[in-house]
Amino acid sequence: MITVTAMKWAPPFAAGQVRDHRARWILNEVGWPYEVVLVDAPTMKSAAYFSGLQPFGQLPVLQEDGRPPLFESGAIVLDIAMRAGRCIGAEGTPERAAALQWVIAGLNSVEPMLFNVAEVEYFMEDEAARNARRPAVVRLAKERLSMLEQARAGRDWFVGDGFTVADLMLASILKIADRLALLDELPALGAWQRSILARPAHVRAEQDQKAEIARHTPADMRYDALAQESAP
C-alpha cells in the first residue's frame, strides 16, 4: 500500500496548495490507490520523522511496501510517473528529457520567485519592511512569469502532444501566483493553468486535501506541544 503524509490542518491561504496535493495528483493520474497519513507538528519535528522519513521535517513523504521512503514533491511526481509509464515520455527520449527539464525549472526557476512574494504577503510582520521589499519581489516574479508564458508560446502542453508531469508541476506552482494576483497581467497563462487544474485527477486531489483540512483546527496540529518541547 502507498501512503502519503499530509498536515492535519493548514491556514486558509494554503488549503489546496500544500505540496502533498502533487503526490495525490500524480497518483490519481496513473490510477494507483493510496492512503493519506495525517501528521501534526510534533510528529513532523520528531527524531523518528527526521531520521526515518524526511531529514528536514517537511512533507509529503511517500511510503510504499518494499521501498524506502521518498520525499520532495518533485521527486515523488517523477518517480510515480516513470514507474507507471504515464505522464512522461519513454526512457531515453527527448520528450522525457524535456519533461524532466520543465519540472526542475518550475521548482528552481519559478517557484522561489513566487515564494518571495508569498513571504512578504503572509509571513513578514514588520509593515515597513514588507512595504519596502514588496515592489522588488513582485517585479521579479512577474518578469519570471512573463518568461514562462513566452516559453509556453501558446501551446496546450509544455512537452509533446499531451499532458505530462511538466504541466502538472507548473500548473501546481502557479497556484501561488494565482492567489497572489500575479497572473492578472497574463490572462493566457492563467487560462492555461485553469485548464490543467480542471483535470479530474487534480480536482480530486485538491478536494480531498481541502476536506481533510476543513475537518481539523489549529489545535489538531499541536503547535503548543511543540513550543513546550523547545522551551528551556
pLDDT in tens, 50-93: 999 999 999 999 999 999 999 999 999 999 999 999 999 999 99
pLDDT score of 29: 98
Checking if the pLDDT of 201 tops 80, the result is yes
Cα gap 122→138, rounded to integer Å: 14
Report DSSP state, residue 14: G
Checking if the pLDDT of 228 tops 70, the result is no
Report DSSP state, residue 34: E
Cα gap 95→203, rounded to integer Å: 26
Once rounded to an integer, what is the mean pLDDT over residues 129-142? 96
pLDDT in tens, 7-38: 999 999 899 999 999 999 999 999 999 999 99
Cis peptide before 200 (omega within 30 of 0): no
User: What's the chain's average pLDDT?
Assistant: 95
pLDDT score of 8: 97
Percent of the chain scoring above 70 in pLDDT = 97
Ordered by where they begin, the domains of the chain are 2-86+202-230 (3.40.30.10), 94-199 (1.20.1050.10)
Cβ atoms of 116 and 182 closer than 8 Å: no
Cβ atoms of 36 and 212 closer than 8 Å: yes
pLDDT score of 226: 77
The per-residue DSSP string of 96-153 comes to HHHHHHHHHHIIIIIHHHHHHHHIIIII---HHHHHHHHHHHHHHHHHHHHHHHHHHT
**Band of residue 232 on the pLDDT scale cut at 50, 70, 90:** low
